[in-house]
Structure 1
Amino acid sequence: MSDKLSLPEKRWWKCSECQHVVHEKSSPTECPACHKRCTFADVTCYIPDCGGPSNPDPKLI
């Protein structure tokens, strides 16, 4: 058993322009919703309280 936190294979990413959320392995370079080159924030939930890595964190989106 490992002491390290395992990161999810796919993460949730939120567009800085239109707030669209995507579920991908890495942040996109262009938003699929607004079609702009945006900055994406990792909004993946890493704690069991909000559902764990298979869900976005509702406090961040």
Structure 2
Amino acid sequence: MLSLPSDGEAVAPAHAHAARYFTRPGIAYVPIRDAPPARWALIWRTATESTLIRALARVAADIGTLAG
């Protein structure tokens, strides 16, 4: 997704940590101070789903339940 804004083709929201971990020339991160807290979601292509992906999804769901 970061290639689109850096190519001048899009504007996209990003989580605050993106500025720290995904710095790229040509991308400016501007805080959206009044935005509601964001939530994360794990996504994958169903055509490539595997037992490993399903296991990762279960672990992510379990961690989310514990943290939430």
Tell me the TM-score normalised to structure 2 length.
0.18
Structure with greater strand share of residues: 1
Q: Which has the higher contact order (CA 8 A, sep 6+)?
A: 1
Q: Which has the higher helix share?
A: 2
